[in-house]
Amino acid sequence: QKEVEQNSGPLSVPEGAIASLNCTYSDRGSQSFFWYRQYSGKSPELIMSIYSNGDKEDGRFTAQLNKASQYVSLLIRDSQPSDSATYLCAVLSGGYNKLIFGAGTRLAVHP
Amino acid sequence: ETGVTQSPTHLIKTRGQQVTLRCSSQSGHNTVSWYQQALGQGPQFIFQYYREEENGRGNFPPRFSGLQFPNYSSELNVNALELDDSALYLCASSPRGGKDTEAFFGQGTRLTVV
């Protein structure tokens, strides 16, 4: 079982729709979770962090965390073509703050 | 713009050669981590440096080594390059902290081994 799992996609949504990206993790002791956006050929960019159960909203982005189900999600409202990218879910692990990444979900927003 | 800078941005090396990649951390950040990202995969943790000492290592062979300098900048060295070392190498800078520590990446170095 992979430590962090994501659906590789591509997830295709029309412009203006809500994109829903999901992630599961195996370490029940994990406390810190991050979403990074990565455009093709570029480095990952941090877009959301979440540490407590529930929802955290930042602009068009909402991160959701359910530790009991070991599940993290990212919702993107009013999706734009510029949101087309790979979204990486990362979990903080170990005493030295190592990030464990999923393989990423490729999102395509079409006009 | 994260304030984390890496050099060079692109590099082509021959199998068996050695390479050094460099990273300058964001101002105020004393911890640097290195990751390898192969095509189509998520970044994989190589190691982390804090106060000039290695502070955790992933599943990479000893030919991957590093340094951190007093100004918190860092180097990644890879000896005896193999074709499978071709990847995007990412440096992440963070403050030393607890569970709410956020890491920010540089633009990466694309290494091609031929």
Shortest Cα distance from B81 to chain A (angstroms)? 22
Residues of A in contact with B55 (CB under 8 A): 96
Structure confidence by residue, pLDDT tens digits, A16-43:
999 999 999 999 888 899 999 999 999 9
Nearest one of B45, B114, B106, B36 to B73, comparing CA atoms: B106
Dist. CA A97–CA A47, nearest whole Å: 18
Give residues with Cβ within 8 angstroms of B55, minimum separation 6. A96, B31, B47, B48, B49
User: Confidence band (pLDDT; 50, 70, 90) for B98?
Assistant: low
Instruction: Say how far apart CA B21 and CA B32 lie, in whole Å.
Output: 13
Cβ distance A46 to B107 less than 8 Å, yes or no, reads no
Preceding omega of A81 cis (within 30 degrees of 0): no
Tell me how far CA of residue A49 lies from CA of A84, A110, B38, B57, in angstroms: 20, 27, 24, 24
Q: Which residue has the higher pLDDT, A92 or A38?
A: A38
Look at residue A97 in the predicted model and tell me its pLDDT: 72
Q: Which tokens belong to A11?
A: 């997830």
From the list A49, A51, A101, which residue is nearest B43 (CB)? A101
Q: What is the pLDDT of residues B45-84, one digit of tens each?
A: 999 998 899 988 999 999 999 999 999 999 999 999 999 9
Interatomic CA distance for residues B6 and B24, integer angstroms: 6
- A44, A51, A102 ranked by CB distance to B100: nearest: A51
**d(C-alpha A57, C-alpha B60), whole Å:** 37
Q: Strand B10-13 relative to strand B109-113: parallel, antiparallel, unpaired?
A: parallel
Q: Is the pLDDT of residue B21 over 90?
A: yes
What's the pLDDT at A8? 86
DSSP structure class, residue A29: T
Instruction: Please give the pLDDT value at position A93.
Output: 82
Lowest mean pLDDT among A6-10, A48-52, A73-77, B14-18: A6-10
Q: Side chain identity at B103, as an amino acid letter?
A: A
Instruction: Work out how many CB contacts closer than 8 A connect A with B.
Output: 69
What is the model's pLDDT at position B39? 94
Residue type, B51: R
| CA pair distance A61, A74, nearest whole angstrom | 7
pLDDT on residue A16: 98
**B69 interface with A at CB cutoff 8 Å:** no
Closest Cα in chain A to B94: A97
Chain A residues with CB within 8 Å of chain B CB: 4, 31-32, 34, 36, 42-46, 49, 51, 88, 90, 92, 94-104
- Local confidence band at A9 (pLDDT 50, 70, 90 cut-offs): confident
Q: Are residues A97 and B31, on separate chains, in Cβ contact within 8 Å?
A: yes
> Phi/psi zone of residue A48: left (φ > 0), alpha (ψ -120 to 50 degrees), beta?
beta
CB distance A19 to A76 below 8 Å: yes
